[in-house]
Amino acid sequence: SFFLSQDNQQAEVTLYHSGYAQVDIDDQLVFHGDILEKNCKKAKLNYYRLDSGDKILLN
């Protein structure tokens, strides 16, 4: 799980090995589903370099 905060909001993002993810904002579930599925329009998985923030493109 990853914990994020902005202003007074708290978010928890949990990623599962199966490709599913769950996102809670202020203890309220806002997304639960497959982020690897090509037809998923609500969420998508992206990778970024830690040192520069540049997006990593995967083939």
- Per-residue pLDDT tens digits for 14-58: 988 888 889 999 999 999 888 776 666 666 667 788 888 888 887
* CA–CA dist 28, 7 (Å, integer): 17
Which helix H or strand E contains 2, and what residues bound it?
Answer: strand 2-6
Instruction: Give the three-state DSSP class for 55.
Output: strand
Which pTM was predicted?
Answer: 0.61
* CA–CA dist 19, 9 (Å, integer): 25
